[in-house]
Amino acid sequence: MDPDRKRKIRLVVALGVAVLLAGALVYTSFSASTEAKQPSQLLNAAPGSSYDLTGRVVKGSVRHRGEGIRFRVADRDDPSQSIPVTYSGTIPDPFRGGREIVLTGTVERGVFVGERDTLVTKCPSKFTTEGSGANEG
Amino acid sequence: MKADLGSVALALAFLTAVGAAVAALAGRDGNRRWVDLSRRAVYGLCALLTLCVVLIEIAFASDDFSLNIVQQHSSLETPAFYKLAAMWSSQEGSLLLWAWVLSIAASLALYATRNKLREIVPYATAVMAGVAAFFTGLMLFAGGVNPFASLSPAPADGIGLNPLLQHPSMMIHPPMLYSGYVALTIPFAFAIGALIARRLDAAWIRSTRRFALIAWAFLGFGLLLGARWSYTELGWGGYWAWDPVENAALMPWLMATAFLHSIMVQEKRGMLKVWNACLIVGTFSLALLGTFLVRSGVLQSIHAFGDSTVGPYILGLIAVVLIGSTALIVSRLDDLRSEKRIDSLASREAVFLVNNLLLVAITAVIFWGTFFPLISELFTGEKSSLAAPWFDSYTTPLAIALVLFTGIGPLLAWRRVSWASARRVFLVPTVIATVVALGLVLFTDAADSPWALALFAFAAFALTGLAQEFWRGAAARRALRGGSLPAALVAIVSRNRRRYGGYIVHVGVVVLLIGIAASSSFQTNRDVRLRPGESAVIDGRTVTYERPTVSVNDNAITLGAVLSVEQDGKRFLLEPSRRFFRPTGVETGTIGSFFDGEATSEVGLRAGPGSDLWTAVQPDISALSRRVRAADRGFRECVSGAAGSPPQCRAVSRLMRAAAANPRLRPFALAQIDSLQAAVAQRLARTYLTDTAPATFRVIVDPLVTWIWVGGLIALCGALIALWPARSARRRPVADTELEALKEAKYREIRDAELDHAAGKLSDEDFALLDAELRREAVEILDRANGDGRPKQQPAEPV
């Protein structure tokens, strides 16, 4: 076969494979992702579906209960919108009141029940003083 | 004083960078005076930025809290070592670090090329100086990121450095990554210079390859340190989480890996020029993107650095780089045509191409996953994110294929290999890989995870192939020169540093991937809740919670546990603990706040070549918190001076009343109360010992995880060997002309082919053909050198 033709065919095949793979990538990413919600968006959430809760842990709300912890999470920008959360599993070191977290789980009777070991706490790069929470996170 | 001097130095640095760029452009037509001036301006820039860094470091060392950066990131109590490293925990400090490292790298690159690449250097200087001007300008004009911003009056103490970050590897990790990002500027700048000047042979690659390799090594080491820190400090037991900021460092590293391989193809064969130009532009853009992600907060990351003012500017720079470079590459497509074509699919360059595609595919997957929250918001209006399993499902098969090709590549020679010679070199590795796979299936549960099994088999193939390379190389050397086997090994490695250094990097990376595959597929991860005296059996090991421990010091309360472990008939102790740091920079006011501060896990780790036993403890402090709350109530009553309170109480409330009357006494009174509360908190903490409260332990049996760190270090050593200048280059530091360099490169190629032949990689017929071809090319170069003594503008015509 003419080498130029062979090259062209090879190129088309390679591009076809790449397009197919990219399609699979796009498709699976939309089906595998979980929606991130702030507490205010979860107040009327459908029970049973899984969400990623993101927001700020309300200061002073963390209570240790046997194996797990209970705390409240508020919207990042609106501390008045908050939801109670229960969680058991590993607690990341940076976790504490005032920090931003991401937690996967479901809403059951107005309480966000976190899945085991899905708590992610944002790692602060420095200490911030009380009250200047906006710089933190 | 420092602030003034520093501000002046920084402003001068900005002007110098701008001046260097202008002078370089003025010298683009070969006016040596302008070019020399621009080079000296870059040296001057380096001196000025060094002065800035020294001033900041002196301020940190001498606790000069009149500088905002020191006040925000250091304190009197911060240990001296961390004071010096606190510079880059701040935004402005890391920008300064970027500019400073860039000025060093640019000075080195310009010094090394002062007599070379005359057409390219002016443009490359302009690009490097332009980037430096961008970052120094950012510090001066972006607002809020000037490292010399001062506070008046100077506070007495600073806020301090987050205890989580007070870990030796955390102090080296950021500058490593930054240096890696920055060093990528050099090959990028020279690539742009080569494109503008239409000098698109391999000369710019030969001069900047070392910087690409240095960047690669820095990035890789930075990633390794970050993973290690996560494993030993963060209390979750993992080393990689597909977090956006981790990905941001991994992507340029993967692209740089691809670049380092594909430039060899351009160097040796004059092919893949467009690809290389695109790769370096992509790599540099990803490095900038890494800097941007770290500093912008557009993505939810466990690394949070604060929404900052510099994000949009960096994004603007990325846009300029991408658009400008793309336009440049498109306008130079004619000059970027390959000098040759791939002769055969059974050649090293073909395998390099495959490995490049795989590396770029992995990068693309990670890029898509990292930015998916933004993409999904664009299409669905909802920020959705992808978790680790999604990343794993794509990167695992790609990485396994990569290991296979890592194994195949070194076994093939350049240009073409006949199937007869290929069979000869593939025989032993294939047999060993099959035996290893069968052995794993028969004697272990590796078959439970087909991906891991495939990886182990391919890794065995790759490692055997590499061992065979060393063996055959040494044997060929001994046949020629005699001597012992170790002496022959040392001789071949030191005479072919690039080749064998590269092989050692391969060994390290394969070992590292074995560690990742084994520890992620065959990990036992259990959370157990034990009271003192109770035990649990985990993966054949008996773990007993012997007793709780408490230790207190001035800045932390540590609640821990003594675990005794019986493993293979041996008994040892592990002491995981959780440390509650005292909040600093805050008027605490309650005893409870002593337990609300930053907390860090100290893991109990027994590392071994077979497997690690990793433990962390989560003390149940509910009983303790009840007592703390009661104490706080008592304290409040006490301070309010309620009737019937004990005598110490009256002293405290008297103190408070006196403080209320006399503001000068207030700090003293607060300090008294604070130390009283600290004493109470520490006494209460000790009651944890008698609580017999259950504690939750996370116990992880991680097979082969140690090999991740070992593999990483092997790869680093390999990179150092490949970087080390060859003896001939050290004798003659400057390759006299580009033609000389071209000649050297061709001689090296001939030597390589001879070595491949001697090692049996090339059959006699293959070698005869290849050798004749190479010698013809060498003669052509010599002819040119002996002709007019000047290189032609165009590289050799295709043969």
Shared-domain flag, residues A40 and A75 = yes
Tokens representing B304 are: 């949070």
Contacts of A26 in chain B (CB under 8 A): 368
| Cβ separation B162–A125 shorter than 8 A | yes
Most confident of B212-226, B550-564, B596-610: B212-226
| Cβ separation A64–B596 shorter than 8 A | no
Q: Which burial class, exposed, middle or buried, applies to B601 when counting CB atoms under 10 A from its CB (0-12, 13-18, 19+)?
A: buried
Shared-domain flag, residues B679 and B732 = no
Q: Which of B275, B6, B291 is nearest to B149 (CA)?
A: B6
Q: What is the C-alpha separation between A65 and A87, in angstroms, rounded?
A: 10
Shared-domain flag, residues A25 and A45 = no
Tokens representing B789 are: 């003594």
Mean pLDDT of all residues in B684-688? 86
The reported pLDDT for the residue numbered B794 is: 44
Confidence check: pLDDT of B19 > 60: yes
Mean pLDDT of all residues in B228-234? 84
Among B128, B162, B196, the domain boundary falls at B162
Confidence check: pLDDT of B347 > 90: no
Shared-domain flag, residues B40 and B154 = yes
Q: Which of B234, B368, B369 lies at the smallest CB-CB distance from A93?
A: B234
Q: What is the C-alpha separation between B473 and B620, in angstroms, rounded?
A: 60
What's B313's DSSP letter?
H
The reported pLDDT for the residue numbered B727 is: 62
Q: Which of A63, A123, A129 lies at the smallest CB-CB distance from B304?
A: A123
Nearest C-alpha of chain A: how many angstroms from B160?
7
Per the DSSP assignment, residues forming a β-bridge with B559 are B550, B578
Domain count, chain A: 2
pLDDT single digits (tens) B447-478: 888 999 999 999 999 999 999 999 988 888 88
Residue whose token pair is 């439970």: B448
| Cβ separation A120–B696 shorter than 8 A | no
Shared-domain flag, residues B197 and B72 = no
Nearest CA in chain A to B370: A29
pLDDT single digits (tens) B694-741: 888 989 999 999 999 999 999 999 999 999 886 655 445 444 566 777
Q: What is the C-alpha separation between B752 and B748, in angstroms, rounded?
A: 6
Residue at A135 is within a domain:
no
Nearest C-alpha of chain B: how many angstroms from A50?
12
Shared-domain flag, residues B532 and B680 = yes
Shared-domain flag, residues B540 and B678 = yes
Residue at B301 is within a domain:
yes
Q: Which burial class, exposed, middle or buried, applies to B735 when counting CB atoms under 10 A from its CB (0-12, 13-18, 19+)?
A: buried
Among B317, B348, B379, the domain boundary falls at B348
Confidence check: pLDDT of B401 > 60: yes
Q: Which burial class, exposed, middle or buried, applies to B710 when counting CB atoms under 10 A from its CB (0-12, 13-18, 19+)?
A: middle
Q: Which of A64, A96, A137 lies at the smallest CB-CB distance from B625?
A: A64
Q: Which of A100, A124, A127 lies at the smallest CB-CB distance from B585?
A: A127
- Confidence check on the interface: ipTM exceeds 0.90, yes or no: no
| Cβ separation A36–B383 shorter than 8 A | yes
Residue at A98 is within a domain:
yes
Nearest CA in chain B to A125: B305
Nearest CA in chain B to A131: B586
pLDDT single digits (tens) B423-435: 888 999 999 999 9
Residue at B511 is within a domain:
no
Confidence check: pLDDT of A66 > 90: no
| Cβ separation A33–B376 shorter than 8 A | yes
Nearest C-alpha of chain A: how many angstroms from B482?
47
Residue at A132 is within a domain:
no
Local confidence band at B749 (pLDDT 50, 70, 90 cut-offs):
confident
Q: What is the C-alpha separation between B340 and B795, in angstroms, rounded?
A: 12
Confidence check: pLDDT of B795 > 60: no
Interface test with chain B among A2, A11, A33, A118, by most B beta carbons within 10 Å: A33
Count of H helices and E strands in chain B?
Answer: 26, 12
Look up the domain containing B545 and give its range. Answer: 525-705
Confidence check: pLDDT of A125 > 70: no
Q: Minimum mean pLDDT among B121-125, B205-209, B644-648, B771-775: which range?
A: B644-648
pLDDT single digits (tens) B236-248: 788 898 888 889 8
Q: What is the C-alpha separation between B761 and B771, in angstroms, rounded?
A: 14
Per the DSSP assignment, residues forming a β-bridge with B542 are B537, B566
Q: Which of B394, B616, B622 lies at the smallest CB-CB distance from A65?
A: B622
Local confidence band at B634 (pLDDT 50, 70, 90 cut-offs):
confident
Contacts of B165 in chain A (CB under 8 A): 125-126
Shared-domain flag, residues A79 and A121 = yes
Cα–Cα separations (whole angstroms), residue A76 to A93, A98, A99, B174? 20, 10, 10, 28
| Cβ separation A36–B384 shorter than 8 A | yes
pLDDT single digits (tens) B26-85: 988 878 899 999 999 999 999 999 999 999 999 999 988 888 888 888 888 788 888 888
Contacts of A123 in chain B (CB under 8 A): 164, 302-304
Shared-domain flag, residues B699 and B765 = no
Local confidence band at B589 (pLDDT 50, 70, 90 cut-offs):
low
Count of H helices and E strands in chain A?
Answer: 2, 9
Shared-domain flag, residues B113 and B38 = yes
Q: Which burial class, exposed, middle or buried, applies to B306 when counting CB atoms under 10 A from its CB (0-12, 13-18, 19+)?
A: middle
Q: Which of B180, B208, B215, B175 is nearest to B193 (CA)?
A: B208
| Cβ separation B369–A29 shorter than 8 A | yes
B776 three-class SS: helix
Q: Which of B278, B211, B212, B287 is nearest to B252 (CA)?
A: B287
Shared-domain flag, residues A51 and A114 = yes
Contacts of A21 in chain B (CB under 8 A): 361
| Cβ separation A127–B529 shorter than 8 A | no
Contacts of B387 in chain A (CB under 8 A): 32, 34, 104
The reported pLDDT for the residue numbered B787 is: 63
Residue at A7 is within a domain:
yes
Shared-domain flag, residues B155 and B171 = no
User: CB–CB of A62/B628 below 8 Å?
Assistant: no
Question: Which value, in Å, is the radius of gyration of the alpha carbons in chain B?
Answer: 31
User: CB–CB of A56/A99 below 8 Å?
Assistant: yes
Nearest CA in chain A to B297: A137
Shared-domain flag, residues A83 and A63 = yes
Q: What is the C-alpha separation between B682 and B627, in angstroms, rounded?
A: 12
How many Cα atoms occupy the beta-carbon half-sphere of B795 within 13 Å? 25
| Cβ separation A33–B72 shorter than 8 A | no
Residue at B451 is within a domain:
no
Look up the domain containing A72 and give its range. Answer: 36-127
Among B320, B348, B376, the domain boundary falls at B348
Shared-domain flag, residues A60 and A76 = yes
Tokens representing B32 are: 């040596």
The residues, any chain, with a CB within 8 Å of residue B476's CB and separated by 6 or more, are B755, B758, B759
Tokens representing B82 are: 């961390």
Local confidence band at B796 (pLDDT 50, 70, 90 cut-offs):
very low
Per the prediction, chain B carries an average pLDDT of 85
Mean pLDDT of all residues in B291-306? 59
The residues, any chain, with a CB within 8 Å of residue B616's CB and separated by 6 or more, are A90, B235, B236, B237, B576, B578, B601, B603, B604, B697, B698
Shared-domain flag, residues B223 and B266 = yes
Q: Which residue has the higher pLDDT, B505 or B482?
A: B505
| Cβ separation A127–B584 shorter than 8 A | yes
Shared-domain flag, residues A19 and A50 = no
Residue at B749 is within a domain:
yes
Interface test with chain B among A127, A128, A136, by most B beta carbons within 10 Å: A127
Q: What is the C-alpha separation between B760 and B472, in angstroms, rounded?
A: 8
Shared-domain flag, residues A23 and A56 = no
Domain count, chain B: 4
Nearest CA in chain A to B693: A66
Shared-domain flag, residues B570 and B677 = yes
Q: What sign does the CA torsion over A118, A124, A130, A131 have?
A: negative
Tokens representing B686 are: 């000790």
Per the DSSP assignment, residues forming a β-bridge with A111 are A108
Confidence check: pLDDT of B302 > 70: no
| Cβ separation A90–B586 shorter than 8 A | no
Most confident of B283-292, B374-383, B548-557: B283-292
Residue at A60 is within a domain:
yes
Q: Minimum mean pLDDT among A113-117, B72-76, B512-516, B665-669: which range?
A: B665-669
| Cβ separation B162–A124 shorter than 8 A | yes
Nearest C-alpha of chain A: how many angstroms from B233?
8
Cα–Cα separations (whole angstroms), residue B142 to B18, B86, B147, B311, B727? 17, 22, 12, 10, 47
Shared-domain flag, residues A80 and A50 = yes
Shared-domain flag, residues B222 and B145 = no
Shared-domain flag, residues A43 and A110 = yes
Shared-domain flag, residues A49 and A99 = yes
Shared-domain flag, residues A22 and A75 = no
Q: What is the C-alpha separation between B327 and B114, in angstroms, rounded?
A: 28
Tokens representing B725 are: 């200048």
Local confidence band at B362 (pLDDT 50, 70, 90 cut-offs):
very high
Q: How big is the A-B interface in CB pairs under 8 Å?
A: 139
